[in-house]
A and B are shown apart, each in its own frame.
Chain A
Amino acid sequence: MTSLPMAAEDPRDAMPDHIPSLRAFAISLTRNVSEADDLVQETILKAWSNIDKFTVGTDMRAWLFTILRNTFFSSKRKTRREVSDTDGAHAATMFEKPHHDGRLAFTDFSRAFDKLSPEHREVLVLVGANGYSYEEAAQMMGVAVGTAKSRANRARARLCELLGMAEGEDILAEQSGATLAVMGRSGFQAA
């Protein structure tokens, strides 16, 4: 990458602006504030010392998100510790069928979201909540665009399954509920 012109603005000066969204992303991945804070800390340190790898003029937030998610998933691989989801219930338990006024109750949604694998939470937060394109999300996740899309579809289908709703019936039809349940449990390599 280009060497930093010493006199010019240090791109790192923009880092404080990105901390809140970085932390929200960390919380979305870990669902645990103290774990999220450690992750943000580690990300800041890595970003700071690797700033020469950042291409000035590109999306710094996306760059930071990438460092954060790589840190998160590689430490998870190392410890092989599955994120202890609140009550160990990645199981095929479904919530009570919600009020069928068509709207999702937020608390139910939130609980279902917690039960997704981190990979599923990641893609949904990048695309659904942050509005990144599949191309951008795929780049951050280090996968092909098609993988990002199918992962997002599965994540949505899984959410609906947990909520006892019937979206993506075409998706569910292709894969038995058992497959989906196993995917949900296995946590890693959701796509």
Chain B
Amino acid sequence: MSGDNQKSSLRKDIDENLKRVYEDALKEEVPDRFKLLLEQLKAKEGKK
């Protein structure tokens, strides 16, 4: 109602918050199991 400016600033606000949600998830420490899994897969491949 009060124009496009307000709307686009709200959108920017939303996107900033979305980035933060994602970055928070990115900050979660990645467990070693994935690195180990990839190493195991690679080792298995090498034996073939």
Contact = CB atoms under 8 A, between A and B. Distances in A.
Contacts of A20: 26, 30
A41 B22 CA distance: 19
A167 B7 contact: yes
Given A21-B26, A45-B41, A129-B15, 14 more contacts: A24-B23, A24-B26, A24-B28, A27-B25, A27-B28, A44-B38, A104-B13, A109-B14, A109-B17, A128-B15, A156-B11, A160-B10, A167-B14, A169-B1
B34 A19 contact: yes
B37 A106 contact: no
A124 B35 contact: no
Interface of B: 1, 7, 9-11, 13-15, 17-23, 25-26, 28, 30-31, 33-35, 37-38, 41-42
Given A19-B30, A159-B14, A24 B22 contact: yes
Q: Tell me if A's interface is mostly helix, strand, loop or mixed.
A: helix
A66 to B, nearest CB: 17
A125 B11 contact: no
Interface of A: 12, 15-16, 19-21, 23-25, 27-28, 33, 37, 40-41, 44-45, 48, 102-104, 106, 109-110, 113, 124-125, 128-130, 156, 159-160, 165-169
B16 to A, nearest CB: 9
A167 B11 contact: yes
Contact of A48 (B30, B31, B41): B41
Given A48-B41, A128-B18, A28 B33 contact: no
12 contacts: A16-B35, A20-B30, A27-B28, A28-B22, A45-B41, A104-B14, A109-B14, A109-B20, A125-B21, A129-B18, A129-B21, A160-B10
